[in-house]
Amino acid sequence: MKRLIYLLLAGGAVLLTLNVWYRGALRPADTADLSRIPFAVEAGASLTTVSEELEAKGLIRSPRAFRFYVKRRGLDRSLQAGQFVLWPAMSVAEIVDTLHSGESQEVSLTIPEGFTVIDIDALLVRRGLSGTGEFLRCAQECDLTEFDFLPNIGGLASRGGRVEGYLFPDTYFVAPAEFTSQAFLNRLLATFEERVVSNGADDIRKSGRTLHEIVTMASLVEAEAGSDDERALIAGILWKRFDDGRGLGVDATVRYILDKPTDAITTADLNTDDPYNTRKFRGLPPGPIANPGLKSIQATVNPEASSYWYYLHGADGKIRYAETNEQHNLNRMKYL
């Protein structure tokens, strides 16, 4: 009898310990952390995979407790595939409810470096956040008077309005139910103001260039550089050509104004009579041809000096540099 009582007590103690552990494991990973974390559930992903990825992202305390909670409620076969936004302050119950319903209060939206206003408009349509052309119309027509750093040039960048180049590329978290093009546009501009205008004011002033010149040149560097290592060097070459009064000859400007991001450029394209055509007109185009990332902006503010005046993108994807036009032509024959 004593042995039976001892076993019962021991078993009760074990169950109590497990219960305390289980309840603790269902609590938020960090109640103070409200940072948004994108989380993807692939179609066909197992419960084990989902639980381990949640732990790896710091969203749950225990994969085992998560799996037990899901199975106990009969939801192990009903977690939805999709893109979600979660945060460490969510409990397991809240996370499971989100993954089960397939609806996230917020979604992550990444604006890549080099995207144009048209690209952003298309992205918002694909994500079901706005109608076709809605963001583009706002970029061209919405009231932007609160952003006094924007260029005040009539007819600038007909494709993207005055905001082309000033929409900061980053990952943003948005609530679909509350999304508006105006609010999102303001958010992109406010982020640019904080990250570039405010934080980079001293460097821009020391460069001797205007903000508009910096952003416009940075958009060319974004289009031309294939890697981070090339940005400052290409910026140095383009600034040197600009200061010397030579044509920049950046084909990406022709692609921009003709909306030909990938198709081959023809001789007729290169002769397009448009101020954005840096093959035909000297100096910078009237405005940026894309929204450059911070690295391209920094490279444009701090260009790398070199003896080069020319560069080209070879058929193998590598960039070849030249000091003279003769060397540049040899590179054309050899690498194009």
What is the model's pTM? 0.80
Query: Comparing 6-10, 83-87, 97-101, 123-127, which segment has the lowest mean pLDDT?
Result: 6-10
More confident residue, 206 or 155: 206
When pLDDT is cut at 50, 70 and 90, the band that residue 125 belongs to is very high
| Structural domains of the chain sorted by starting position, each given as residue range(s) with its CATH number in brackets | 24-105 (3.30.1490.480), 108-198 (no CATH), 209-335 (no CATH)
Q: What percent of the chain is predicted at pLDDT more than 70?
A: 94
Cβ contact 279:269 at 8 Å: no
Q: What is the mean pLDDT of residues 271-289?
A: 94
Read off the tokens for 2: 């004593």
State residue 160's pLDDT score: 83
| pLDDT tens digits for range 20-39 | 899 999 999 999 998 889 99
Statement: residue 14 has pLDDT above 80: no
State residue 226's pLDDT score: 85
3-state secondary structure the chain: CHHHHHHHHHHHHHHHHHHHHHHHHCCCCCCCCCCCEEEEECCCCCHHHHHHHHHHCCCCCCHHHHHHHHHHCCCCCCCCCEEEEECCCCCHHHHHHHHHHCCCCCEEEECCCCCCHHHHHHHHHHCCCCCCCHHHHHHHHCCCCCCCCCCCCCCCCCCCHHHCCCCCCCEEEECHHHCCHHHHHHHHHHHHHHHHHHCCHHHHHHHCCCHHHHHHHHHHHHHHCCCHHHHHHHHHHHHHHHHCCCCCCCHHHHHHHHCCCCCCCCHHHHCCCCCCCCCCCCCCCCCCCCCCCHHHHHHHHCCCCCCCCEEEECCCCCEEEECCHHHHHHHHHHHC
Question: What is the average pLDDT value for the chain, to the nearest integer?
Answer: 92
When pLDDT is cut at 50, 70 and 90, the band that residue 217 belongs to is very high
Statement: residue 8 has pLDDT above 70: no
Q: How far is CA 181 from CA 40, 108, 111, 161, 178, in A?
A: 25, 16, 14, 14, 10
| pLDDT tens digits for range 68-85 | 999 999 998 999 998 899
Q: What is the mean pLDDT of residues 208-228?
A: 96
Query: Comparing 132-146, 147-161, 270-284, which segment has the lowest mean pLDDT?
Result: 147-161
Statement: residue 9 has pLDDT above 80: no
When pLDDT is cut at 50, 70 and 90, the band that residue 13 belongs to is low
State residue 65's pLDDT score: 96
